[in-house]
Structure 1
Amino acid sequence: MTLRYLPDAGRLYGAEYARDPQAIYETLRRRHGAVAPVEIAPGIEAHLVIGYQAAVDVLTNAGGVWSKNPSAWQVRLPDTPEAAGMIGMLGHRPNALFSDGADHARYRKAISDCFQLIQPHKLRQLVTEVTDSLISRFAAEGEADLVADFARLIPARIFNLLFGRPDADSAGLTEALADLMEADGERGARGSEAFGRYIGELIQGKYAERGDDLTSWFIDHPAALQPEELVQTIVLVVAASYEPTANLISNTISRMVSDDRYYSSLTNGALSTYDALMEALRAEPAMSNYGPYFVRQPVHFHGTWIQPAELVLVSYAAANTEPTDVPDELRSDSGAYLGFGAGAHRCPASDPAVLIAMTAIERLTSHLCDLELTVPRDELVWRPGPFHRALAHLPVRFTPIRPDQPGDSPWAVQPPSSSTPSEPISPARSAGYATSAPWSS
């Protein structure tokens, strides 16, 4: 599907883009202004919103012209492996991401209500158990890849447990989601298939036997999600929790260990883990280009004509870093700008995401307080892909911690071994699920 009028589309794939996406955004900004033509895979084009005000206008549905339904765009895709890989990320699903109006409100309420049942201190305890068990695997080695050994393992294990599956199942989920997020032809299609299989087995098990977990809460929510709606709601929650949280963790750590302002804060510096997280959300958001949108009728938008069947993506990374005079108090996310989106489709689970990332990073830096990169930060390799800003590796070294040395060690807390946390994650106790749900009265 080719855009009709501009041949010089920027490529959001390949090594050049992965190495320095900001250079691509700056070139596009000079040539096209706030909205630019891009190619997100060979033969798959889109409009990329790179101006801050333009991004806000899309995200807040200025003028009421914006829709999340990709059906008209999807049917025009070519029959190619690249297009098949994009369907996993951009194809229509009956869930909150790809719906408007009353349907969106119903789906979103189910997500918001169920996430409110997760008590923050229980979630923090679960993150501590998972991260400590991961740290214990490499602490004695004195070196690690904090992407492969740490950041990419945490969200899959956390949400696998929150959804009520055994901890051992998280490895398959991690692999499926990594393939899916690459959106790379056959690999993307394979990841989509494996992810669907995981979700199907999860839901089948919870229909048979409820638990104190997110899956069961979704099943019993008054929104009365139909089977396919339930599947796609859980698909959205798992996918939206995995890649963004993993990248937020690794991107934040990479900044902390390469900048003395953050590095010294591991002991007594002026800037905190939260400061580093907010800066990562602003300058290197985990999902750098996403938020798929479509227009309901032809629109002349910030200097560009957009037609209903054309894909529009919001570049959070480009919009966040655009030179602008917009005051900080008008930006979202306490200085993180559009790190979690804005408007009706703003991420409903931003607080749990920040809690997970902060807890994981603080556990890591409290035990391994002399972390340092083994290569300069500007030599780190980033994974290619149009949607994410994700490190391929984060190699570090540190003073080893032996399991037999005195004092507190990362493996002081036993790793999770059951399908759910050792204590319920919601306010429910022996009285049962229904009595604790906010919709039970």
Structure 2
Amino acid sequence: MNAHDNTPVPPPGCPAHGSGGRVPLYGPDFAADPQAYYSFLRHYGPAAPVELAPGVEATLVTDYAAALQLLHDSGSFRKDARRWRAFNEGKVSPDSPVTPLLAYRPNCMFADGAEHLRLRQAVTDSMARIDMRRLSRSTEQVSRYLISQFAARGSVDLLGDYAKQLPLFIFSELFGCPADIGDRVLFGISGMFDGINADKATEVLYQAVGELVTLKRSRPGEDVTSWLMQHQARLTDEEMVHQLALLLGSGVEPLRNLIGNTLHRLLTNDRYAREGGLIDEALDDTLWENPPVSNFAPHYPAADMEFAGQQLQAGDLVLISFAAANTSPAQTEARRSGSNRAHLAWSAGPHVCPSKEPARHITVTAIEELFNRLPDVHLAVPEESLTWRPGPFHRALTALPARFTPVGVPRGTAPQAATAPQRHEEPGPAPKPERTGMWSQFLRWLTR
């Protein structure tokens, strides 16, 4: 803070110096120490002006109470991204790197009112039908398979070879993907989030999901796709495709980051033991202090208004900083005497994450499996050498290298094939993904 006025001073190296006070939430400096940026942003009050990418302006809510107020006020703040004024006026390019996650799609995340209630109820009811015992078996199977791929080496990138891969397999099973469709779903989601050939990856994902919908119309099963299709909301095929793409995409990326960030906490903090309920404790602390989605929940004021100390115009882009709200000084103090699960990592209000319980269950099971099978796993590099992926929305490591005592992988240890996902041949020709079919490989391993 400047000693002669009340103008906040940006952190050293922050490009906000000379930028009119709008703080950029991208680049290596922000990725390396986002909490320094959040501390600076709090000088503006409960909300602050930020830049998500060059030329993409937004208001970021950093206060816990203000965030809760906004998330529950669906009258004043809307989710339909077709209200985004800067985008409609051509000030934000469709080619901007943040546009794919902010631009309108016909799914429950971008819906308001009765349409949101209809789509969201179908999603919530379908996700509620997931059997946690079956989910545990599936997570154990996938964990053992992935561990078997590196157990004999004695070294592994726990992010790239484990945390990043596991959600892809779990969601393919939950949504009833047969082998070839599952291969293309995995290819599509990976490409979209990795930014590698993203246009082709998006095309492959939506085509694969479309084929999955066609398949399940004629051959339903015990899976989220079939339950969503059978819901009384009577979703059309187009609505099915967009809800499934949302659930698969928004489920996989945050879950891989949650697993990776929780493993990072366990491997870099001596106060956690690798057994019993302390994995749950590490998970809760991660959700408070290092949530996998740090800044998101886009909203748009329905009319010109003042909110959290900022003047907003109708259609302005407003985001919630879950990371800043969770770690604000007032909330840190309240946390000591309150619930350890009152964080905002899952968001809140009518758009709260519908899969928070499955995500928590998968994370704990996957970490328990890893530590049970590789009990001496430890970080292979100094903690300060780890790097974080740049970007305004997520909190994600680039890698988490670890070492352990190599172990043999005896043959014939796969679980019984009766719990394996059903296999179907999808109708019509399908283009092959540009990588080895990971889902097919897993199914072969499972039944050998």
* Inter-partner Cα distance in structure 2 for 1:116 and 1:258: 35
Unaligned runs of 5+ in 1: 1-5, 422-441
Determine if the alignment matches structure 1 residue 275 to structure 2 residue 287: no
Written as runs of structure 1 = structure 2, the 5 A alignment for 1:311-330 is 311-324=317-330, 327-328=334-335
Matched residues in 1 for 2:403 and 2:52: separation? 36
1:414: how far off?
A: 6.4
Q: SS of 1:294's equivalent? A: strand
Q: Deviations over 1:68-89 (max 9, x none)?
A: 1110214234474643x43321
CA–CA separation in structure 1 for the residues paired with 2:122 and 2:35: 37
1:172-220 CA distance string (max 9 Å, x none): 43443244346x6x85544433332232222222223222221111111
Quote the Cα distance in structure 1 between the aligned partners of 2:129 and 2:119.
16
1:93 shift after superposition: 2.1
1:342 and 2:348 correspond: yes
String of CA shifts for 1:62-112, please: whole Å, max 9, x gaps.
Answer: 7x30111110214234474643x4332112222221111211111111111
Aligned to 1:413: 415
What residue number does 1:367 align with? Answer: 373
| Counterpart residue identity of residue 114, structure 1 | S
In the alignment, what sits opposite 1:97?
109
Q: Is the 8 A contact 1:135 1:411 kept in 2?
A: no
Deviation at 1:411, TM superposition (A): 4.7
1:225 and 2:268 are equivalent in the alignment? no
Secondary structure of the corresponding residue to residue 387 of structure 1: coil
- Which segment is superposed worse, 20-29 or 321-330? 321-330
1:262-312 C-alpha deviation (Å, 9 max, x unpaired): 1xx2257xx611001111111111111111111110110011011122111
Partner in structure 2 of residue 69 of structure 1: 80
Q: Partners in 2 of 1:378 and 1:245 — Cα distance?
A: 24
Where does residue 266 of structure 1 map in the other structure?
274
1:295 maps onto 2:301 in alignment: yes
Alpha-carbon displacement from aligned partner over 1:30-53 (angstroms, at most 9, x marks no partner): 2x2221111111211111111111
CA distance in 1, matches of 2:416, 2:158: 21
Among 199, 202, 206, which residue is 2:212 paired with?
Answer: 202
> Offset of 1:256 from its aligned partner?
0.4
Q: 1:244 aligns with which of 254, 261, 264?
A: 254
Q: Which amino acid aligns with 1:231?
A: V
Answer whether contact 1:135 1:410 (CA < 8 A) is retained: no
Q: Is 2:31 the counterpart of 1:23?
A: no
How large is the Cα RMSD of the aligned pairs? 2.5
Matching of residue 42 in structure 1 with residue 54 in structure 2 = yes
Q: Secondary structure at the match of 1:287?
A: coil
Q: TM-score, normalised by structure 2?
A: 0.83
Which structure 2 segments of 5+ residues have no match? 1-18, 424-448
Residue identity matched to 2:328: E
Cα 1:81–1:188, aligned 2, differ >3 Å: closer, same or farther? farther
In 2, Cα distance between equivalents of 1:411 and 1:79: 53
Q: Provide closer, same or farther for how the CA distance between residues 112 and 345 of structure 1 changes in structure 2, counting only shifts above 3 A.
A: same
1: CA distance between counterparts of 2:92 and 2:326? Answer: 35
Partner of 1:13: 26
Letter in 2 for 1:254: H
1:111 matched residue in structure 2: 123
Change (3 A) 1:167 1:50: farther
The separation in 2 between residues aligned to 1:253 and 1:168, in whole angstroms, is: 31
Do 1:136 and 1:410's aligned partners in 2 also have CA atoms closer than 8 Å? no
Residues 303, 315 of structure 2: 8 Å contact kept: no
Q: State the AA in 1 paired with 2:335.
A: D
Cα deviation 1:225-270 (Å, max 9, x = unaligned): 12222121112211221011111001000110111111xx2257xx
**SS, match of residue 108 in structure 1:** helix
The structure-2 alpha-carbon separation of the partners of 1:378 and 1:359, relative to structure 1 and needing over 3 Å to count, comes to same
Residues 306 and 312, structure 2, Cα contact 8 Å, conserved in 1: yes
Quick check: 1:383–1:389 contact (8 Å CA) kept in 2?
yes
Deviation of the 1:120 alpha carbon? 0.6
Q: 1:305 to 1:77 in 2, by over 3 A?
A: same
Paired residue for 1:55, among 67, 73, 77?
67
Distance 2:140 2:282 in 1: 20
> Across the two proteins, how many residue pairs are aligned to each other?
402
Q: Give the 3 Å change call, closer, same or farther, for CA 127–410 of structure 1 in structure 2.
A: farther
The alpha-carbon distance between structure 1 residues 330 and 208, as it changes in their structure 2 partners (threshold 3 A), is: farther
Aligned to 2:202: 192
Partners of 1:91 and 1:98 lie apart in 2 by: 9
Residue 315 of structure 1: how far off its partner (Å) = 0.7
